[in-house]
Structure 1
Amino acid sequence: MKLLVDSGSTKADWIAIDDNGKVLFTTQTLGLNPEVLNKEEIINRLNDKFDIEHNKDKATHLFFYGAGCGTDRMKNFLTDVFKEYFAHAAVSVHEDTYAAVYATTPKDEEAIVCILGTGSNCSYFDGKVLHQKVQSLGYIAMDDCSGNRFGRHLLRGYYFGKMPAELAKEFEEEYNVDPDYIKHNLYKEPNPNAYLATFAKFIIKHKDNPFCQELIRFEMEEFVDNYIKQFDNYKTVPVHFIGSIAFYLKEELEAVLVKHGITIGNVLRRPIDGLIAYHVLNK
């Protein structure tokens, strides 16, 4: 039994398949980002799902693609945790961009592949190897155009009085805006980036509001300038996207890309289904 996992900071999608690609079960855990979780928290999230805990000794392979796995230190840490938990499985840990590449990019083709979800990322795939010029410093310093960045903008807009009154009223009705509650989630609870990203659905819901439109355009321009344009061939290869921000704001994203002469490619909400075909072909 092979376990295929696509993990962001908010959630992780799991699919168990046999050697022929038949789906044995699917489930979802909370996100397993090693940058923000310790070993105990990761084990607790695994044990919380019956299908995973019940079948852990049956797994022969674990292919994990996750946010926060861009450095050897984090990959090694997570590999050790998984090897202990899935005692009979060969474990392979990759950064989440590889899942995005395998799901969006036809075999041997070049592309720039981006992730716009809870966090954000951008890499160039030359048809064989993934190239990343800038190593992510995480949600505080980077993550342009991500769910957590939009959450930060909305909270600041609300508290600094920049959010229009009618929008602020609806914001209050939809979220707990008590400052102690917000600070507790930001500084005392695990996954503060995922907490910030919970506000992103508000900006998607109100994307036609001028206040939200301005934030969306600003972040998309930042992402193009800081992430996509780091690759000299950004105008000559397709640019694919994975993630809920890209999926639900595709129209706005395409408008910004066209302005910069960039060709938008495939836009998928999640890559997990595409991983099945890849791992059947490459078993």
Structure 2
Amino acid sequence: MRLLVDSGSTKADWIAIDDEGKVLFTTQTLGLNPEVLSKEVIIERINDRFDIEQNKDKATHLYFYGAGCGTDRMKSSLSTIFKEYFSNATTVVVEEDTYAAVYATTPKDEKAIVCILGTGSNCSYFDGKILHQKVQSLGYIIMDDCSGNVFGKELIRKYYFNKMPKELAVEFEKEYNLEPDFLKAKLYKEPNPNAYMATFAKFLIQHKDTEFCKKIIFKGMKSFVKNYVKQYDNCKEVPVHFVGSIAYYLREELQITFDKYGLQLGNVLRRPIDGLIAHHSENK
């Protein structure tokens, strides 16, 4: 049994397939970002799903693509946890989530810039064989341009600095618990503060036609293009693909931004997990 996992900071999609690529089961856990979670929390989140816990001894291969797995230290740490948990697995591969995005969006051997816009953000160049990254992410506190957590942080700041239009502020208060003690507990005392901040991005998307939200959205996209996409000299010569909920629900805004900069918007997918099935069925 082969386990394929696409994990962001918020959630992780799991699919088990046999050697012919037939789906045995699918499930979802909370995100498994090793940069912000301890070994104990990661195992607790895996054990929370019956299908995984009951079938862990049947797993022979595990391919994990996840947020927070961009460094050798994080890959090694998570690999060790998985090898202990899936004790019969002879193959355990941990890669950053961008590889899942590449396999899902980019035809075989084609060149493209591949981006993630979800809870966090990322951007890499795929030369048809190898992934190249010019910007090493330093995490959600100072990077992640145009991501759900950055948009969420911006909304909270605008609200607390009294910069949000009154009518939107009223709606914001109805949608979320904005009590200072509650917010600070979520942000500073509980796991995954980045995923928590990203929950506020839903409000931005729901109200994306207001001038207030448009300004935030296009400012974020401009920043992403300038700081990430334009790192690559051939950015106007190859398609730029995206995966992630932010890109998916703001595709129209992405297209407007790309037209402004003369860039080619390629495939935009909410989740790459289906593409992983095809990839691993072809590459046994």
- Distance in 1, matches of 2:83 and 2:208, equals 44
- Distance in 2, matches of 1:20 and 1:210, equals 51
- Distance in 2, matches of 1:253 and 1:277, equals 27
1:33 aligned counterpart, secondary structure: coil
**Which residue pairs with 1:125 in the alignment?**
126
Q: Can you list the C-alpha shifts for 1:240-262, whole angstroms capped at 9, x where unaligned?
A: 00000000000001100110000
- Distance in 1, matches of 2:20 and 2:84, equals 27
Runs of 4+ in 1 over 2 A off after TM superposition: none
- Distance in 2, matches of 1:134 and 1:162, equals 32
- Distance in 2, matches of 1:21 and 1:15, equals 10
- Distance in 2, matches of 1:183 and 1:5, equals 31
- Distance in 1, matches of 2:282 and 2:130, equals 18
* 1:275 maps to amino acid: L
1:1-283 pair list within 5 angstroms: 1-89=1-89, 90-283=91-284
Q: CA deviation at 1:271?
A: 0.0
Any unmatched runs of 5+ in structure 1? none
Q: CA deviation at 1:223?
A: 0.1
- Distance in 2, matches of 1:146 and 1:134, equals 15
- Distance in 2, matches of 1:258 and 1:24, equals 42
- Distance in 2, matches of 1:263 and 1:11, equals 29
2:5 aligned counterpart, secondary structure: strand
* 2:171 maps to amino acid: E
- Distance in 2, matches of 1:136 and 1:14, equals 25
Q: CA deviation at 1:134?
A: 1.1
- Distance in 2, matches of 1:97 and 1:143, equals 14
Identity %: 75
1:258 aligned counterpart, secondary structure: helix
- Alignment TM-score, normalising by the size of structure 1: 1.00
Q: What's the C-alpha RMSD, in Å, of the aligned pairs?
A: 0.3
- Distance in 1, matches of 2:259 and 2:112, equals 16
1:13 aligned counterpart, secondary structure: strand
* 1:221 maps to amino acid: K
* 1:220 maps to amino acid: M
Q: Can you list the C-alpha shifts for 1:144-191, whole angstroms capped at 9, x where unaligned?
A: 000000000000010000000000000000000000000000000000
Any unmatched runs of 5+ in structure 2? none
Name the count of aligned residue pairs. 283
- Distance in 2, matches of 1:44 and 1:5, equals 16
1:167 aligned counterpart, secondary structure: helix
2:57 aligned counterpart, secondary structure: coil
- Distance in 1, matches of 2:159 and 2:142, equals 21
- Distance in 1, matches of 2:53 and 2:46, equals 7
